[in-house]
């Protein structure tokens, strides 16, 4: 039951893009085509989940016992950079077509605030799922990361769909491109606000 | 231009850079450790000072249990007698944990409350930090659970934020109950002994 | 490129928020008030200037294949230094900006400028670029924050001029996108003179 709450909260109530504002750069930059948006979401989903697990373990078994929390930022980002590098190498070997399709976006996931953001949130923020406010354990953290990235994908795909439609319509010149996309995003954010309070 | 990308160069460069950066960080960390601790202490003392009567000396942090919940609390001591307790009370609000510092006098009366952190909606639940809402709790000596008018109680809830208001009331009530149980334990410890003012501190420490 | 234009390019031509569309995450998240936007901009500028200078000094000695991790380590070091200093001396600001301080390390502006500029220019020019872009970023964030604060809370820099609340949507998620969108239109039309 607790896991269900985590999932609903991460996908809808505190959607990483429309509520926490993490991962906005690719959200605005990659969402003009539905196919690239889907590919990007999949890659991000995988990296966020994997990175969260690894950084959680690093934090718990290395940083905390050695009282090295001030190295958290630098340690986490290095882990993420290394992970993305490894994912690139593995992907190139097992699925060259997907690797080609993602192109430049794969290394860019390193600088995606969502990845580092989720990694840090999971080890610092106290959550109230299933009772008193507490820090997440590994299982909860993994589910949270997975659900968060599903929420990311959901928002990306919805947005890309909307943008593809917009591209075919008559938008006033000053609004063309990014401004109208932002206004669309604002209406989406308003819609997602309606989910607040259900968990 | 950049140096040659031989394995030796790459490894050397990375190692040197990491080493140097770690040294810089270690240095800054050592330098700022004390000021950071001081800043935290100061912030804590400020928030406690806002909820208890002036002039008392604040004790170390203590933990107490009431029901199935554990609390952090501090005592405000004047003339070797506990004057008030500052209890950190956390409940689940509308958007996340709602953390209050509640000042309770030894007779179970609420002195003042302060919101430490919340995740409530701006303009709605977030109004719980405002004086207009918080002032309702000053001077309350609740015999039974504090509730909002909707539930038959005395507290005027924030418009359209019943859940936040209920949570706030619960947090305050929990703090008062904790203090009452702590006081009860202290009275039990004293009964049967001659209460002299030097003995009081010893008895409290025995607990 | 003259020294003066290096500095002022960051204000309009290379404005990170409105022209380059970089660093969007803190732009949307920390502009709930003018003060917050200003503080975030200054924090980012601190890291930007220092990392630009150090990276421009290191770049000739860094093998090409490892330049990204090296840049990241340098930037992360400065971000951590900033975190420690803020926790020690301005803890209230640190609490308000929260997660977005460590996130400066993945702010596309910082790594982007390091890659595009600092790696190829000398320390002095890199510093000027850092200052220019930093000022551009800070100004943009402050303006967006000011708009959201005026419309959303009826105050400016904390000074309230109406009793009660404004259009609360502006201090919440939708307002961020909306304010940025419309300000971008104004920027394109009047400042960039398209």
Secondary structure of A113-177 as H, E, C letters: HHHHHHHHHHHHCCECCCCCCECCCHHHHHHHHHHHHHHHHHHHHHHHHHHHHHHCCCCCHHHCC
What mean pLDDT comes out for the span A126-147?
82
| pLDDT confidence bin for C80, thresholds 50/70/90 | very high
pLDDT category at C4 given cuts 50, 70, 90 is confident
Q: What ipTM was reported for this prediction?
A: 0.87
Mutation test of the interface with chain A: which of C25, C145, C190, choosing the one with the most A Cβ atoms within 10 A? C25
Confidence of residue C193 (pLDDT cuts 50, 70, 90): low
Q: Cβ–Cβ of C83/A23 closer than 8 Å?
A: no
Q: What is the pLDDT of residue B191?
A: 61
- Judged by CB atoms closer than 8 Å, whether chains meet at C76 and A183 is answered as no
Q: Is there a domain that residue A113 lies in?
A: yes
Rounded Cα distance between B197 and A92, Å, is: 78
| Residue C192: per-residue pLDDT | 66
Q: Low-confidence residues of chain B, pLDDT below 50? A: 1, 192-207
User: Over the stretch B21-51, which tens digit does the pLDDT of each residue have?
Assistant: 989 999 999 999 999 999 988 988 888 888 8
The predicted pLDDT at position C12 comes to 83
Say if C66 is an interface residue toward chain A (CB within 8 Å). no
C70 part of contact set with chain B, CB < 8 Å: yes
Note whether B2 contacts C62, CB cutoff 8 Å. Answer: yes
Q: What is the pLDDT of residue A156?
A: 93
Lookup: tokens for B181 = 């149980």
Instruction: Give contacts of B97 with chain A, Cβ < 8 Å.
Output: 126, 128, 133
At residue A29, what are phi and psi to the nearest 5 degrees? -85, -30
Q: pTM for this one? A: 0.85
User: In the prediction, which pLDDT does B199 show?
Assistant: 42
> Over pLDDT 70: what percentage of chain A?
97
Q: Does A67 touch chain B (CB under 8 A)?
A: no
Q: What is the mean pLDDT of residues C111-133?
A: 89
Chain B: residue whose CA lies nearest to A126: B97
Tell me, yes or no, if C99 comes closer than 8 A to chain B by beta carbon. Answer: no
Count: domains in chain A = 1
* pLDDT tens string C140-162: 999 999 999 999 888 888 888 88
Paired strand residues for B117: B99
Contact: A133, B90; criterion CB under 8 Å: yes
A81, C68 Cβ separation under 8 angstroms = yes
């Amino acid at each position: 039951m607790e896991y269900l709450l985590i999932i609903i909260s991460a996908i809808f109530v505190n959607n990483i893009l429309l509520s926490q504002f993490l991962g906005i750069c690719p959200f605005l930059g990659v969402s003009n085509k539905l196919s690239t948006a889907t590919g990007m979401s999949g890659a991000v989903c995988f990296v966020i989940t994997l990175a969260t697990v690894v950084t959680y373990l690093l934090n718990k078994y290395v940083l905390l016992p050695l009282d090295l929390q001030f190295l958290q930022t630098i340690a986490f980002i290095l882990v993420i950079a290394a992970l993305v590098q490894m994912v690139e190498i593995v992907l190139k070997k097992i699925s060259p077509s997907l690797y080609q399709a993602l192109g430049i976006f794969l290394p860019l996931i390193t600088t995606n605030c969502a990845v580092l953001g989720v990694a840090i949130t999971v080890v610092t923020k106290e959550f109230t799922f299933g009772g008193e406010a507490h820090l997440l354990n590994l299982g909860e953290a993994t589910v949270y990361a997975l659900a968060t990235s599903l929420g990311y994908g959901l928002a990306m795909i919805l947005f890309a769909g909307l943008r593809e439609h917009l591209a075919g319509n008559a938008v006033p010149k000053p609004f063309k491109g990014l401004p109208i996309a932002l206004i669309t995003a604002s209406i989406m954010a308003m819609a997602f606000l309606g989910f607040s309070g259900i968990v | 231009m950049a140096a040659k990308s031989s394995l030796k160069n790459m490894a050397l460069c990375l190692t040197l850079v990491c080493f140097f950066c770690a040294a810089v960080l270690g240095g800054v960390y050592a330098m700022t450790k004390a000021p950071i601790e001081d800043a935290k202490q100061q912030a804590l003392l400020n928030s406690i000072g806002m909820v208890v009567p002036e002039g008392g000396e604040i004790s170390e942090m203590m933990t107490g249990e009431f029901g199935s919940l554990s609390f952090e609390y501090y005592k405000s001591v004047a003339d070797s007698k506990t004057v008030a307790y500052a209890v950190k009370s956390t409940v689940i609000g509308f958007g996340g944990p709602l953390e209050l510092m509640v000042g309770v006098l030894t007779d179970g009366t609420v002195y003042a409350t302060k919101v430490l952190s919340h995740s409530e909606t701006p303009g709605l639940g977030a109004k719980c930090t405002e004086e207009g809402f918080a002032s309702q709790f000053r001077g309350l000596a609740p015999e039974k659970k504090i509730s909002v008018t909707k539930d038959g109680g005395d507290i005027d809830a924030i418009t359209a934020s019943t859940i936040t208001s209920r949570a706030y009331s619960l947090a305050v009530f929990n703090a008062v109950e904790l203090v009452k149980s702590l006081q009860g334990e202290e009275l039990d410890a004293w009964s049967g002994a001659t209460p002299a003012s030097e003995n009081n501190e010893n008895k409290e420490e025995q607990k | 490129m003259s020294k003066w234009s290096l500095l002022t390019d960051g204000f309009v031509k290379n404005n990170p928020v409105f022209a380059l569309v970089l660093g969007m995450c803190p732009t949307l998240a920390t502009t709930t008030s003018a003060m917050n936007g200003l503080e975030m901009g200054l924090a980012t500028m601190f890291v930007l200037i220092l990392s630009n200078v150090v990276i421009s000094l290191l770049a000739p000695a860094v093998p090409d294949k490892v330049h990204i991790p090296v840049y990241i380590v340098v930037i992360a070091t400065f971000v951590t230094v900033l975190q420690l200093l803020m926790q020690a001396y301005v803890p209230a600001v640190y609490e308000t900006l929260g997660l977005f301080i460590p996130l400066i390390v993945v702010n596309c502006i910082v790594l982007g400028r390091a890659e595009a500029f600092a790696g190829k220019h000398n320390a002095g020019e890199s510093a000027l670029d850092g200052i220019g872009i930093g000022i551009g970023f800070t100004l943009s964030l402050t303006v967006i924050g000011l708009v959201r604060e005026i419309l959303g809370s009826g105050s400016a820099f904390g000074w309230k001029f109406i009793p009660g609340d404004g259009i609360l949507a502006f201090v919440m998620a939708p307002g961020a996108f909306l304010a940025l969108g419309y300000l971008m239109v104004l920027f394109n039309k009047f400042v960039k003179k398209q």
